[in-house]
Structure 1
Amino acid sequence: MQDVDQRVELVVLVDEAGRSIGTAPKLTMHDADTALHLAFSVYVFNARGEVLITRRALSKRTWPGVWTNSFCGHPLPGESQRDAIDRRGRFELGLDLDDLFVTLPLFRYRATDASGVVENEICPVYRATAHTDPSPNPDEVAEYVWTDPATLRASALSSPWAFSPWMVLQLKELRFDA
């Protein structure tokens, strides 16, 4: 697993079919005309069947302070999704993950936040388990809670403005009982 200098982290640009077409520095992405790029979303569960949700740090460039899935990220050029997920899980939450599997392999979305910043991602969605509570990186996560998946779905669908748009869209498709 790679240590990544956040100032020079690269994201993988993709075409409409999801094929890599190059890279770009992460810090130059996520503006009003964000190019399509590869990402991932992860939902972490504990032994009680609760799902971990996090509130994005207020310093985040996109959707600061909103509640979202456990964590998200971008694979580096040449990095497997598994390695990227492990890297981000440790970086954002201090978690080691088990039982990782993809639940929505073809998820894609485009959304614009209140500041005009656009997310434009092909973003497979994963499920994993953790056997400890997180130890969040305060630059990434303001707070976290373990919650019942049905309660989360009901809350996100009834009050979508309080949650990340990608999570709201994902929750319309995800089955947590599988």
Structure 2
Amino acid sequence: MMTNTESAKQGLDLSNYDEEQVRLMGEMCIMLDNDDNAIGAESKKTSHLMGNINKGMLHRAFSVFLFDSQNRLLLQQRASEKITFPDHFTNTCCSHPLAIPSEVVEEGQLGVRRAAQRKLEHELGIKPEQVPLDKFKYLTRIHYMAPSDGMWGEHEIDYILFIKADVDLDINPNEVKSYKYVSMDEMKEIIATAEEKGVLLTPWFKLIDETFLYKWWASIDNLDALVDEETIHRL
């Protein structure tokens, strides 16, 4: 994993960032061409630097939207320690499949599902048996780019996964600052008043909210007709 010393040798001083978040920057992401074909692997640090993103570096990601039995969506607020988009509210879990054998499997989005299950446990303490791989409903992919703070940003092909499950939470405070379940009306109110209330929202969450979220949410118990395995939506 990437240490502060190793990063400094590469001309990037990470000493002001949280030690655990710096460690995670050493994880290897799956690099892509514009058609979501895997073409290699680079560290999370390398793939999230805007200098590299502006040259076209693109990686695979996923966004999980978890709903409880009352059809409320679980939101999280990213921890202050996060290097990209700290303190921003977002959907339940957003991260990356890693360039490891179990998570590069593309058939049935199996690698992405495994990564989602892993990160739900890491960030929110949700046990894998509460979110079985076959219960994730894959909906589509979105391709977007978003700067975070000038140095860091995102450029991803993001796999959208819905899952309906009542789960037990054991929050990792290094990842998640707060969380809440919201109804559709409450979600619309958060979005409508975010700017005036100073509520920070991640760019991918805003994009999904503006384009697809409520259509999908309204059909949470009958999503099959909305699945699109072919399209990569360029947002």
Per the TM superposition, whether the score is higher than 0.5 is: yes
Query: Normalising to structure 2: TM-score of the pair?
Result: 0.68
Contact preservation (8 Å) 2:31, 2:40: yes
Matched residue SS, 1:63: coil
Q: Which has the higher contact order (CA 8 A, sep 6+)?
A: 1
Partner of 1:92: 123
Matched residue SS, 1:125: strand
Structure 2 vs 1, CA of residues 154 and 109 (structure 1 numbering), >3 Å: closer, same or farther?
A: farther
Partner of 1:49: 71
Partner of 2:201: 163
Aligned AA for 1:167?
A: F
Q: How many Å apart are 1:102 and its aligned residue? A: 1.5
Partner of 2:106: none
Contact preservation (8 Å) 1:157, 1:168: no
Q: Output the CA distance in 1 between the equivalents of 2:35 and 2:117.
A: 25
Q: Output the CA distance in 2 between the equivalents of 1:153 and 1:116.
A: 31
Structure 2 vs 1, CA of residues 135 and 115 (structure 1 numbering), >3 Å: closer, same or farther?
A: farther
Q: Output the CA distance in 2 between the equivalents of 1:71 and 1:40.
A: 8
Q: How many Å apart are 1:30 and its aligned residue? A: 1.2
Contact preservation (8 Å) 1:156, 1:162: no
Partner of 1:20: 38
Deviations 1:27-58 (CA, angstroms, capped at 9, x unpaired): 33311233210000001111111100000000
Structure 2 vs 1, CA of residues 36 and 152 (structure 1 numbering), >3 Å: closer, same or farther?
A: same
Q: How many Å apart are 1:120 and its aligned residue? A: 0.2
- Within-5 A mapping of 1:70-109: 70-77=92-99, 78=101, 79=103, 80-95=111-126, 96-98=130-132, 99-103=135-139, 105-109=140-144
Q: Output the CA distance in 2 between the equivalents of 1:11 and 1:149.
A: 33
Q: How many Å apart are 1:94 and its aligned residue? A: 1.1
Query: Normalising to structure 1: TM-score of the pair?
Result: 0.89
Deviations 1:130-166 (CA, angstroms, capped at 9, x unpaired): 3224211111100100111232134225536621110
Deviations 1:79-117 (CA, angstroms, capped at 9, x unpaired): 1111111111111111131531012x1211111123442
Matched residue SS, 2:156: strand
1:177 aligns with 2:215: no
Partner of 1:63: 85
Q: How many Å apart are 1:6 and its aligned residue? A: 3.2
Contact preservation (8 Å) 2:32, 2:39: yes
Aligned AA for 1:156?
A: I
Contact preservation (8 Å) 1:108, 1:124: no
Aligned AA for 1:9?
A: E
Q: How many Å apart are 1:125 and its aligned residue? A: 1.0
Structure ranking higher in helix proportion: 2
Q: How many Å apart are 1:124 and its aligned residue? A: 1.2
Runs of 4+ in structure 1 deviating by more than 6 angstroms, as ranges, are none
Is the deviation greater in 119-128 or in 73-82?
73-82
Matched residue SS, 1:135: coil
Matched residue SS, 2:76: strand
Aligned pairs, number? 173
Identity percentage over the alignment?
Answer: 28
User: Which one of the candidate residues 161, 176, 185 is aligned to 1:126?
Assistant: 161
Q: Output the CA distance in 1 between the equivalents of 2:62 and 2:24.
A: 17
Q: Output the CA distance in 1 between the equivalents of 2:136 and 2:185.
A: 21
